[in-house]
Every structure is written in C-alpha cells, then in structure tokens.
C-alpha cells in the first residue's frame, strides 16, 4: 500500500487512464435475465464474478425461506425485496420438511418449493438454491430427517456409505425436480447457483480421516449432476475445484481469506442482518450503518460481486421446527420483519447502497484495482477502467471524523464509515449517514379474550400407568430414540415404596440432559427446572417431596425445546433423564435408576389432537373454574378474524410456556416465562398468518406447561404507525430520487396514509427526535415548518420534502447548519 494523500491522488489520476484487462459484453437487464425461454448458456464464473450469458454480474441477494412464511405472502415479500435492490432470492431446501417419512415426500403448501421459485422468476429475480441437504439454519436437526438416525451403521456428514447413499438420493431428487420444471438458468429458469453441504469446515476435523474424503465426494457428486450452474460450499476454504468457497459471517470484508483460486469470485453467502434470537436472551439487532459498512468493505477489499443478506426476511418457525432454544420468531430485525413489514431504516439504507454500487458496476467488475493508505485507520480502494472509476474511502475510527485529500478533493469521512465516490470524484453514498426514514412498529389490540365463559380447559392427565408404553425395563430411556422427535414430551414413570421408619424431609433429585423437566409425585406437582442455550449441559432438579406410606407414583415429564441443529456426530446425541434418587436428611441417596421404569410418548391431548376441530369435539372440556396458573392445562376459545390486511398476532405475555394452535395449525412454541437479562420475555407476540384464519370464528388452543392466565391474551394487528425522518442540508441526495437536493422521504405501509404530522422543524432540531413535541426544537426553527410539511404530506401515502431554505420561506438562522426533522403518523 502507498502512503500519504498526495501520492494517493497521483495514483488515482493515473488509474483513470488504465484500460480494463477484460472487455465488456453487457446486455440489457431484460436480455440478461431472459423472458423465461430456454436456450441460454450455462452460468460460469471467473475471478471477478458470476457470468451470465457472457456478462459479469454484480448481485445482491437475500435469504427467504419458503417454510417460514406462507404462499399467500410470498409475492409481496419478493416484490419488496426487488424494490429494495435485490437481484437474487436465496433459500435452503428443507429435507426433513420434504421427506418427513422415508420415501414419502411433501411439496405442498408452505413446502411447495417449485411454486416459490416460479414466483421469484415471475418477478424477474434469480435464485440461489442451497440444497445442503444439511442446512443448520436454526432448524430442527439441521434439516436432516429424523428417520436417518435409525439407518443401520450411519454416521452423518462423513465418508460413510449409508449417509452418502441417502444424501445423494435426496440431492438428486431435488436437482431432477428443478430440471423437470426447467428452473435452472440454462433452461430458461432463475436458478443461477447452488450449494452443497453447509459450513462443514467447522466439524470436519472431528471426523478425522472420514472428513476430507466426504468433502471430495460431495463436490464430485454435485458437479456430476450437470445443472449448468456453479456449485458453492460456504465456510470451506479448501472447497475442491470447481466448487466456489464462500464466506459466512458479520464482517467478511475483514475475515474472509478469499477464494482459494484466482479464477473464483468472492461470494458472501451469509451476511447476518442480526443474530438469531433464543429464549432467555435479549434481541440483538444490527444497525443499518453497520450492515452497509460491512457490505461496502467486502466489495472494496475483497472485490466482492455477490452479497447475500441472511436473513432478508426471517419469518416464523411454525410448529416444532425451531432448533434447541430458538424462538418462534426468526430474524425479526431483518430488512423485512417477521410479518413482512419493511424494517426501517435498514431496508431503505441498503437500497441506497445497492443503487450506488450498481451505478459503478462496470469499473467494479472490469476495472483495475488499487488500494491506498491515508493513515492508520483510513484506506482507499479504487476500481478504474478507461472511462469509469469508483473509489471507496474507508474510515475505521469509530470515534473521529477523518479529513483526507483524495485526488483534487478533500473529503470528511464520518466515524466508522465508507464513502463511495462515483467517477472517483462525486460522493454518492456514505454508509454512516442514515437519510432513510425510521419506523415504529406497534401492536393494536383488536380483541381481548377476557370473557371467562368463552374459555374451556382440558386437564392433561398425569400418567402413572402409561396409555402408550414405548419401553418397559430397568432403565431410563433415551429421549429422542423414544419419541422419534414426534413430540417434545416423553413421560418417565416409576413407583417408590415408602415405609414410615424415619423422620426428616425427603428430597427428590433428578439429573437430566434436557431443556426442561417437570416432576410429579402422586399426581401432585413437585417442581420444574430448565436449562439455557448458553449452558447446554445437564439440568438438576432438587425438590422436597411428601409421600404416603406404601406405594407412591413418580411421574417425570422431560421436555425438549427443539432438537440440535449442528455439530459432529448428531446421530449420537442423547437426551433424557439420566439419574433419579431420593434422599432423607444426611443419609445416602436411594438410587431409582434401576427401578422398573415405564415410558409414555407425548401428551394425551397431543395423541388425541384436541387442538383440531375434530379432536376438540371428542375431548371432555370443562370451565376454567380455579384451574388458571396450574401446570399441564389445555385452554380453548374462539376469536374473530380481524378486519383489514394488517398482520395478526397473539399477545401471550400472560402465559408461561407451551405451544399454540390456530384452527389446528401450530404457530409455534412459546416460552414467555424465560426472561432475558433485561427482565423481558424473548418473545411475547406470536404471528398468526392470515391464511390460517377463517371468515368468522377461529379455534384457539394452547397447551400450557407451567401455568398462565389466558384471560389476559389479546388478538392484535401489527403495523408501522409512527414514521420519522431527519436529513441535513449537507446530506448526499438520494440516487433514487428525481430531486438533486437532500430531502426527507416519508412513506406509510400499503393501505395506510399520513394522518397527522406530530412534529416538523427546519433548523437545528434535536438530533434523534423520534418522539414529538416542542422539546425537539433547537435554537433555530423555521416557523413555517409544520405548515409546509403538512401541506406536502397529509392524506398521502408518501411524500418528499426538500431540505432547502427556499422551501421554508428563507434561512431562519444564517451561518448555522440546518436539517429537517419530521415525525408523522400513519393510519
């Protein structure tokens, strides 16, 4: 790297005269993407980018997972992604959703992969198909079907013939399905790249000599399927040729070692838009500025030409598909939130970044690259062809503005920010300058379910003699082998004979490798204990108990909150009750491990499917009476479908732990009682897709493990009701706006319009005024501010207000830097 601003300026001027090493063969966007007709060439690549019909492409992509939403909202999600500047939708393929029973396939409803890909294609976007078939993805068993565990002599994800045989069969089935539907790019379809395996390098060493041959086999198997598009392996720096090794992570511009061949492009398959939430932890959101900085740095430093956001829309982990301790809501802080609403300012800020990068696609993909140093924490990256140039000026200093000379201009680089210069002169985007509007999402109560007479309960019987015996013998059974992952709940049942020959309190001691455990003696609740995501070891319950003389029944309910999704030797993982003993005072504990144990799989209500209309009609429901706050209670009521199109949610903050069904469809597990360090539940609002609802009344059933208050449950609609924008008169104008001046852009979600302007000030208002009121005004304020903004915005879905003095009747305070801040209400 060269040092000093003067030297760097000379280099930049020289770079403008450099001729690109390769020629350019650009078609129009429509020509490149085709019109769904066959006859296009194979997708190839070189050291700069993926190549479609002879043209290198700069591609922005976003993960959306078809099982985590419903087909009814796929079109809207994809349309918002396209408007956000994406070119590609990326998705995993979920083996255990498609083949839940060996040889029986499901490609219906939420699992209609072909329909999902066709919808993407119809909107003019490409597809990155991550077949895996191991996917992790915070999805139960990492996407592997549980029946694989019962295949004799199998070892997952290794040079093991049984596993390879089943993996190849499924991958081949998916590839053939895509071929039959003509969905690969050379056939006229949208699939331009596929992935085999997933982050295997993280576990490869654990398989010793069985690891590397498996990588070679997986690569060869995939390539031999002859799809006409490249294959990739993420986090596999030794991916065999011609497989492309890609990066996953938060800061691939800093951590990625680069492609393992100069003839492979730099692809970022997972740029994490937040961190996936787990029960017991606070949500960890990622700022729009940090995301944009990471993307720009990857493109500049690594010559990146493909960036995928994981997730762009996270959606919902319906049913029991979430992995261990993972919440039902998935990546709610993505550019499109769990409900499909636009998450601002992230969505719009990234949209501006995509526009700035694509404006300079030619030098980025074809230009000669040079880098420059402006200080210990400042650097520049230049891409130049004979006619075009783009520069990325980077300031890593998190606290100070940096002033540098670049070429003939002086630039102020904001803290932890990257400035993009079109033609190496004109500032078109700053990652640290957020001009996009912010939005406040609110839940509006539309129905309170507080009528006690409308609720019914079913008491889950505490078994002492199991109705369905899966194992009887002198042993404690393994959880997953017993349940086959068809339920979270196996019962462990035995008896204890007590003789009145001693005094002192008895203590029941249970050790289990599980997520939660509930203990009952003679049908009476004794206590519970649970683990956590960060401490996945054994849990121990020590509870005082009272027993009667003679025979006492011990009933233990072992609970899993999702199965594991990663790691080596997953087929060997074991869970369940490990040790049970009873102790009196200081005496040696009496071990119950070798007693005559019986086991029951699942709850009675599950077995009889009382969460469905048919199953519910057969169950013996009673009035609530005094059953609230008791453990193992099923609750049932009905509610009306909310009017309109806003997303629907249940507020379960008054409940504790369990699962919830709407019209027989599980919308996921809830665990409200597991509080985060901040004292709040990790999730209290639970999404009900409108497709699950009926006209009129809907059946709501909850299985409450610990005890809650259903009378406090509310049905809500979710929307963005308050929007806020603040833009400086010195801000870089939007590339997507017709106006060449800085402006505040406000927009309500579809179906709503601006009903009120709570605050507007052109002057020097408080920097972050997302509330309202005169307290946000600074010492400088144009009196016409509110009038001008209301005139431009009231009654409209969207509006643009330029930030210039003439718009507000002149400069209210000459010599003072000014901005415009607006808080508006959407309704």
Q: Which stretches does DSSP call E strand in 461-569? A: 469-473, 490-498, 506-513, 516-521, 524-530, 539-545, 550-559
SS3 52: strand
H/E stretch holding 358 reads: helix 346-359
To which residue do tokens 């102020």 refer?
412
* Cα atoms in the Cβ-side hemisphere of radius 13 Å centred on 561: 24
Q: Hey, CA dihedral for 802, 805, 810, 813, is it positive or negative?
A: positive
Alpha helices per DSSP H over 425-583: 479-483
Residues whose CB is less than 8 angstroms from the CB of residue 17 and which lie 6 or more positions away in sequence, other chains included: 386
Q: Is 758 a catalytic residue?
A: no
**C-alpha to C-alpha distance for 631 and 461, rounded to whole angstroms:** 11
Q: Strand order of the sheet with strand 44-45?
A: 44-45, 50-52, 55-57
What's the token pair of residue 781?
């304020």
Closest among 188, 189, 70 to 120, alpha carbons compared: 189
DSSP symbol at 571 = G
SS3 333: coil
SS3 291: helix
Query: Backbone phi, then psi, for 63, in 5-degree steps?
Result: -75, 130
**C-alpha to C-alpha distance for 575 and 513, rounded to whole angstroms:** 5
* Cα atoms in the Cβ-side hemisphere of radius 13 Å centred on 84: 31
The span from the first CA to the last CA of the chain, in angstroms, equals 54
What's the token pair of residue 312?
């762009």
H/E stretch holding 313 reads: strand 306-313
DSSP 83-120: HTT--EEEEE--HHHH-SBTTB---SGGG-HHHHHHHH
Q: Hey, CA dihedral for 31, 35, 40, 42, is it positive or negative?
A: positive
SS3 308: strand
SS3 798: strand
Helix pair angle (161-180, 113-122), 10° resolution: 40
The one catalytic residue in 119, 138, 199, 665 is 199
What's the token pair of residue 165?
């045989």
Other CB atoms within 10 Å distance of the CB of residue 808: 25
What's the token pair of residue 359?
């404006």
Other CB atoms within 10 Å distance of the CB of residue 704: 27
Q: Is 138 a catalytic residue?
A: no
The one catalytic residue in 270, 388, 460, 571 is 270
CB-count exposure of residue 584 (10 Å: 0-12, 13-18, 19+): middle
Q: Which stretches does DSSP call E strand in 133-266? A: 191-196, 231-234, 244-249
Residues paired with 247 in a beta bridge: 268
Closest among 675, 695, 710, 664 to 318, alpha carbons compared: 664
DSSP 758-803: EEEEEES--TT--S-SGGG--S-B-TTHHHHHHHHHTT-SEEEEE-
DSSP 405-455: EETTEEEEEPTTEEEEEETTTEEEEETT---SPEEEEEEEEEEE---GGG-
What's the token pair of residue 245?
């090794």
DSSP symbol at 288 = H
Q: Which are the catalytic amino acids?
A: 199, 270
């Amino acid at each position: 790297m060269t040092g000093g601003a003067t030297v760097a300026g000379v280099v930049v001027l020289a770079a403008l005269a450099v001729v690109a090493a390769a020629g350019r063969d650009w078609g129009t966007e429509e020509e490149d993407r085709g019109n769904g007709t066959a006859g296009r060439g194979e997708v190839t690549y070189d050291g700069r980018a993926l190549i479609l019909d002879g043209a290198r492409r700069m591609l922005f992509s976003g993960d959306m997972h078809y099982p985590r939403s419903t087909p009814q909202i796929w079109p809207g999600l994809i349309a918002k992604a396209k408007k956000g500047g994406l070119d590609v939708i990326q998705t995993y393929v979920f083996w255990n959703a498609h083949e839940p029973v060996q040889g029986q396939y499901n490609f219906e409803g939420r699992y209609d992969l072909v329909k999902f890909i066709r919808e993407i294609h119809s909107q003019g976007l490409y597809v990155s198909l991550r077949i895996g078939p191991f996917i992790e993805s915070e999805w139960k068993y990492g996407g592997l079907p549980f029946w694989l565990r019962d295949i004799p002599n199998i070892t997952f994800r290794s040079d093991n013939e049984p596993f390879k045989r089943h993996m190849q069969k499924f991958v081949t089935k998916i590839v053939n399905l895509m071929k039959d539907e003509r969905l690969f790019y050379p056939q006229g379809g949208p699939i331009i790249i596929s992935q085999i395996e997933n982050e295997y390098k993280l576990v490869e060493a654990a398989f010793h000599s069985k690891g590397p041959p498996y990588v070679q086999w997986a690569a060869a198997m995939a390539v031999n399927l002859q799809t006409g598009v490249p294959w990739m392996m993420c986090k596999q720096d030794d991916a065999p040729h011609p497989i492309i090794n890609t990066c996953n992570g938060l800061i691939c511009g800093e951590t990625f070692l680069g492609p393992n061949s100069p003839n492979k492009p730099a692809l970022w398959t997972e740029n994490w838009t937040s961190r996936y939430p787990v029960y017991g932890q606070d949500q960890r959101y990622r700022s729009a500025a940090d995301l944009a900085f990471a993307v720009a740095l990857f493109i500049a430093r690594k010559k990146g030409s493909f960036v995928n956001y994981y997730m762009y829309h996270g959606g919902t982990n319906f049913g029991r598909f979430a992995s261990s301790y993972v919440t039902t809501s998935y990546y709610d802080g993505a550019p499109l939130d769990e409900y499909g609403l636009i998450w601002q300012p992230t969505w719009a800020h990234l949209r501006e970044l995509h526009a700035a990068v694509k404006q300079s696609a030619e030098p980025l993909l074809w230009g000669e690259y040079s880098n420059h140093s402006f200080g210990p924490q400042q650097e520049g990256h230049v891409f130049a062809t004979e006619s075009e140039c783009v520069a990325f000026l980077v300031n890593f200093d998190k606290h100070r503005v940096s002033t540098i000379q670049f070429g003939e201009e002086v630039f102020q680089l904001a803290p932890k920010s990257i400035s993009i210069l079109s033609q190496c002169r004109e500032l078109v985007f700053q990652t640290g300058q957020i001009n996009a509007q912010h939005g406040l999402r609110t839940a509006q109560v539309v129905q309170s379910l507080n009528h006690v007479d409308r609720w019914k309960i079913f008491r889950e019987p505490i078994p002492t003699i199991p109705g369905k015996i899966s194992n009887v013998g002198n042993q404690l059974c393994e959880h997953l082998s017993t349940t086959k992952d068809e339920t979270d709940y196996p019962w462990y049942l035995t008896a204890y004979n007590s003789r009145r020959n001693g005094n002192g309190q008895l203590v029941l001691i249970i050790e289990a490798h599980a997520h939660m455990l509930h203990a009952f003696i003679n049908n009476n609740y004794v206590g519970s204990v649970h683990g956590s995501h960060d401490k996945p070891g054994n849990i121990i319950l020590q509870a005082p108990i009272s027993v009667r003389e003679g025979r006492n029944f011990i009933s233990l309910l072992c609970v899993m909150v999702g199965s594991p999704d990663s790691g080596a030797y997953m087929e060997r993982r074991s869970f369940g009750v490990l040790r049970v003993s009873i102790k009196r005072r200081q005496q040696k504990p009496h071990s119950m491990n070798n007693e005559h144990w019986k086991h029951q799989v699942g709850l009675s209500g599950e077995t009889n499917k009382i969460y469905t209309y048919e199953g519910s009609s057969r169950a013996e429901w009673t009035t609530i009476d005094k059953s609230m706050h008791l453990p193992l209670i099923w609750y049932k009521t009905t509610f009306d479908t909310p009017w309109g199109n806003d997303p629907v949610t249940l507020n379960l903050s008054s409940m504790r732990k369990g699962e919830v069904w709407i019209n027989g469809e599980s919308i996921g597990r809830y665990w409200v009682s597991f509080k985060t360090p901040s004292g709040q539940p990790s999730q209290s609002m639970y999404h009900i897709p409108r497709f699950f609802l009926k006209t009129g009344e809907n059946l709501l059933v909850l299985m409450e493990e610990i005890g809650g208050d259903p009378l406090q449950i509310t049905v809500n609609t979710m929307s963005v009701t308050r929007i806020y924008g603040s833009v400086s008169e010195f801000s870089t104008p939007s590339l997507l706006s017709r106006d060449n001046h800085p402006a505040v852009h406000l927009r309500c979600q579809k179906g709503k319009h601006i009903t009120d302007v709570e605050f507007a000030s052109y002057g020097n208002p408080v920097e972050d005024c997302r509330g309202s009121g005169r307290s946000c005004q600074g010492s400088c304020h144009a009196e016409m501010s509110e009038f001008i903004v209301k005139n431009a915005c009231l009654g409209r879905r969207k509006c643009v207000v330029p930030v210039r003095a003439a718009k507000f009747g002149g400069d209210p305070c000459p010599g003072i830097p000014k901005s415009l801040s607006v808080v508006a209400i959407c309704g």
